[in-house]
Amino acid sequence: MKNRLNINLAGLELGNPTMLASGILGHSAETFETIVEGGAGAIVTKSIGVKPRKGYANPTVVQTNCGLINAMGLPNPGIAEFVKEIREAKAVLKVPLIVSVYGYSVEEYASVAERAVAVGADAVELNVSCPHVKETGSEIGQNPQVLAEVVRKVKSTVKKPVIVKLSPNVTSTADVAEATVKAGADALTAVNTVKAMAIDSETALPILTNKFGGLSGPAVKPIALRCIYDIYERVKVPIIGCGGITSWQDAAEFLLAGASAIQVGTAIATKGPSIFKNITRGLNAYLEKKGFESVNEIVGLSHRK
């Protein structure tokens, strides 16, 4: 069978354009293998920092009628411990392993990225877009000068592709994307969760311990699509679409808007790891029916005049 779904993404060879989104499911090699068996073309790990972090007390996740709001608080074992997981995952995975990195300073981002790459990460994805932890995440991603400094420093430190994950919680994602690419980003992921909250009418209090969290799932899809469409018009690097993808039709829409690949997060909870195979099967049939030889041919197609 002709493989219409192979892509080269900023130097990474993927058998198909689907990836596990950061932070969904655990971070062990075993879980990643399950996701690859489900058909994912690449894995992105949970965001890892310099030191271990417990995350917030429960409740950290609220279900709404259009998706989830989470304020996990970036729980992670810290890079010194996580290097073991990276080594183990690299020993068994046949797809690229992308390590998501966060930090509280330019130096912390560079240090975690360097240690991840040293033990085999194929690329890093910089989380400059988490909406619920102070002094990192979107507080960096919403400030183009600091963001550019982070990207420049990581680029000068590691020799692997540097992907930057953007926030939808800014006035213009395209402006931020442009500054990020000027600073040297090899690819962009768009988008992280949308800042949100939930209130319990019985207790008359916010439900999440952190009050605010990030909305993911179907509610986010039209916002993510708009961000990708805007970014595609402004930058030339590959865009990885993320936000509310639950079917191959959603994935096709993201590609048509300008994404070269897509990530799936929340939908894994409802549809299981085989969602990746369902998306790739559906995309392949769509490309065949429409007469396309490669998935690359539909990237940005909705922009034609």
Ligand X SMILES: Cc1cc2nc3c(=O)[nH]c(=O)nc-3n(C[C@H](O)[C@H](O)[C@H](O)COP(=O)(O)O)c2cc1C
Binding residues (CB under 6 A) for ligand X: these are: 21-24, 46-47, 68, 70, 72, 74, 100, 127, 130, 165, 192-193, 216-217, 220, 242-245, 264-267
Least Cβ distance, residue 220 to ligand X (angstroms): 5
CB of 71 to ligand X, least distance (A): 9
Give 4 or 245: the residue with its C-beta nearer to ligand X: 245
Catalytic entry in 66, 130, 227, 242 = 130
Is 130 in the active site? yes
Q: Which residue in the shown chain puts its C-beta closest to ligand X?
A: 23
Closest CB to ligand X among residues 7, 72: 72
d(CA 275, CA 194): 23
* Minimum distance, C-beta of residue 267 to ligand X, in the bound complex (Å): 6
- Candidates 33, 38, 77; CA nearest to 54 is 77
Q: How far is the CB of 146 from ligand X (least distance, A)?
A: 17
User: Minimum distance between the CB of residue 151 and ligand X, rounded to whole angstroms?
Assistant: 15
**Based on CB atoms, which residue is closest to ligand X, 207 or 297?**
207
Q: How far is the CB of 118 from ligand X (least distance, A)?
A: 21
Please identify, using beta-carbon distances, which residue of 217 and 238 lies nearer to ligand X: 217
In terms of CB distance, is 4 or 24 closer to ligand X?
24
Nearer Cβ to ligand X (4/48): 48
| Degrees to nearest 5, angle at CA 177 with 86 and 255 | 75
State the Cα–Cα distance between residues 239 and 177, nearest whole angstrom.
Answer: 10
* Active site residue ranges: 130
